[in-house]
Chains A and B, each alone.
Chain A
Amino acid sequence: MSSKEVRKSDIIIIGSGAVGNAAAYFLSSAGRSVTVLEKDTVGNGSSVRNGGQNKMNTRGEPELSLGMYGVTEIWPRLQKELDVDIEFRKTGGYRNALTDDEMENMQKFWPIAKKYGMHIEYMDGTELRKRVPQFSERIAGAAHCEEDTWSNPLKTTLGLYSKARALGAKYYDHEKAVSIETVKGRAKRVVTECGHIYEADKICITACFGSRALLNSVSLDVPFTHALCEIFVTEPVPRILDEIFIGSKGGYYGTQTIHGSIVMGGGSRIGAFQREGNHVEFTLTPDNVPSGIKGLTDLFPSLENIKIVRSWSGWHDRTPDDMCCIEAIDEIPGLYAACGFSGHGFGISAPVGKVLSELMLEQPLGADISKLKFNRFMPIDAFTGDDRKR
C-alpha cells in the first residue's frame, strides 16, 4: 500500500480480541464492510490467555445485564452459528468460602442476583463435598450459581475471526493504530504506526490496554492500571466436576475443561506493581505461578501429584471499580469503545461485541449498559473527600 492510499470501509475495529472479533462478526453478518486493525497477530492478547469463565456470581451489578444477555442469548447463538465448537456450556459454578464470615458476605449478593433472574443456592461444606468429594475439607460452604458459564477462549476468539473474515471482514496484522482523527468533530480516520490511513464513519476501540492511548489521541481518557495475572493448565484427569469454581475472596478460579485438564488461575495482587517491558507476561514469574499451584493442591488435596503442563501470564486493564467501560462516546460521534475489563472480560466478550454492533447499527440494545460509561470515574470532592457521582 502506498502511503497516500486510504483504505475505506463502513466500520473500523481496533483490536482483534474476542470483543473486536465478535463485533466484526455481527457487523459483517449485517452486511457492513468491516476493517479490523491488529497491532500484533490476530487474538494474541488477553482473549487467549484467560480461563474461559463467565463468573456471574462475582460480577458487579452494572455488568449483570450484559452477563445475562450473554448467557441466555448470545453465547448459545455463537455455539450454533460459528464453524468451530466453542465448547459453550452452562456449567453452573461454585463460589467457595473458608469461613462463616465469607459465607455471610456471599449471601449479600442474593437479592441482586434475584433481580437479574439468576439462581443461587447456598450450601455448607458437607453438602458441597457430597456433590464434589475432591474439594478440600477446609471449605466451610459454597454458593452455587446456575448462570455461570464456560466457553473455550481460544476457539471462540479464532472462530469469530474466521467467520467474520469469511463474511468479508478485512483483517490487517502488525498494523498498530496510533491515533484517531476527527473531521468536523466526528471520528473519521485511523492512522497506524507505519503511516497507513484507514477511513470509516464509525470507529470502534476494543484494544484492551492499548485503548487508553487511542482515546488519549482524541483528548479522552479512561483510568486503568496494569495488573499481572497468572494461569496454568494440568494434564487431563478423570472427571471431577463440570462446574466452574472460584474462591470467595477471588484468590483462585478454575475449570475442568471438556478435555479433562484443569485450568486454574488467580491474581497475585502484586501484579499491578510489576515493571512494564520486562517481558514477565511471557515467562514464568518466580513466585506467582507456584503460589497459584499451591492453591490447586490446597483446593483438591488428592491432586497433589497431577502434572502441570503449561503456565503463562498477562496483563489486565483494571479500572478503579473493576468494571468495564462500553459506550458510544457522546463527545465524539462515530467513536465507540469497550475496554477496562479488569480481568473478567472474556465471559462477557460475546454480548459486549453484540451490543457494540447494536450501537453502531443504531438498533435497540439487548442489554443495559447505562452504568458502564467511562465518565463515571470522577475526581473526589476535594472539600468533603467523598466520591462524586454523575
Chain B
Amino acid sequence: MEYKVFDRTKPIGEFTAQPDDDLIICRCEEITKGEIRKAVYDGMYTINEIKRYLRAGMGLCQGLTCGRNVKDIVARELGISPAELEEATPRPPARPVTAKVYADCRGEED
C-alpha cells in the first residue's frame, strides 16, 4: 500500500466550525472532533502528528477505540480516503502491563 505524500506547501483552506465539533472522539483523553479537525488546519497531516499534537490515542486504550474515527475525520478534512493515511506507529505493549510483571521478565534471580 502506497501512503499518500502531502505537499504541505499547498493551502487546504480555512477551518470552519461544524455543529458536532464538541463530540468526544478519543474517550481516554477527551479529545473532540473539533480539536482534531482544527489540528489538521494547524498542519497536522499524519495520524502520528495528530496523536502527538493532541494526545488522541495516547490514553489507556492507546487508540484501539478511537483510531479509526480519528483517521476518518482527518481523511475527510484532507479530501482523501482513510486508506491513504498511515497508522500511528505502534508502541508496545498492546495492552497496559503492570510494571512489576515487566520488570520480572528480565529473568533475574532475587
Contacts and interface: CB of A to CB of B under 8 A. Distances in A.
A binds B: yes
Interface of A: 41-44, 48, 83-84, 154-155, 157-159, 161-162, 165-166, 170-174, 234-235, 259, 282-284, 287, 289-291, 293-294, 296-297, 303-312
A282 B5 CA distance: 21
Contacts of A165: 8, 43
Contacts of A282: 89-90
B102 A83 contact: no
B42 A162 contact: yes
Nearest to B29: A259
Contacts of B58: 310
Interface of B: 5-9, 42-46, 48-49, 52-53, 55, 58-60, 62, 89-93, 96-100, 102-106, 108
B84 to A, nearest CB: 14
A149 to B, nearest CB: 20
Contacts of A291: 106
Contact of A305 (B44, B92, B98, B105): B98
A367 B108 CA distance: 47
B103 A158 contact: no
Contact of A310 (B48, B53, B91): B91
A84 B53 CA distance: 9
B71 to A, nearest CB: 15
A226 B84 CA distance: 32
B8 A306 contact: no
Contacts of B104: 290
A158 B62 contact: no
Contacts of A174: 5
B6 A310 contact: no
B8 A154 contact: no
Contact of B96 (A41, A42, A235): A235
Of the candidates A155, A171, A259, A307, the one having the most CB atoms from chain B within 10 angstroms of its own CB is: A307
A304 B97 contact: no
A171 B103 contact: no
B98 A307 contact: yes
30 contacts: A41-B45, A41-B46, A42-B8, A43-B49, A48-B52, A83-B42, A84-B42, A158-B44, A158-B49, A158-B52, A158-B53, A161-B43, A162-B44, A165-B43, A171-B9, A172-B8, A284-B92, A287-B106, A289-B102, A290-B106, A296-B103, A297-B100, A297-B103, A304-B98, A307-B60, A307-B98, A307-B99, A308-B102, A309-B96, A312-B89
Of the candidates A159, A293, A304, A312, the one having the most CB atoms from chain B within 10 angstroms of its own CB is: A293
B99 A296 contact: yes
A234 B99 contact: yes
A304 B100 contact: yes
Contacts of B6: 173
Contacts of A284: 92-93
Contacts of B44: 158, 162
Given A291-B106, A304-B100, A310-B58, A283 B92 contact: yes
A162 B44 CA distance: 8
Contacts of A287: 106
Contact of B60 (A171, A283, A309): A309
Contacts of B97: 307-308
A305 B100 contact: yes
B99 A305 contact: yes
B62 to A, nearest CB: 6
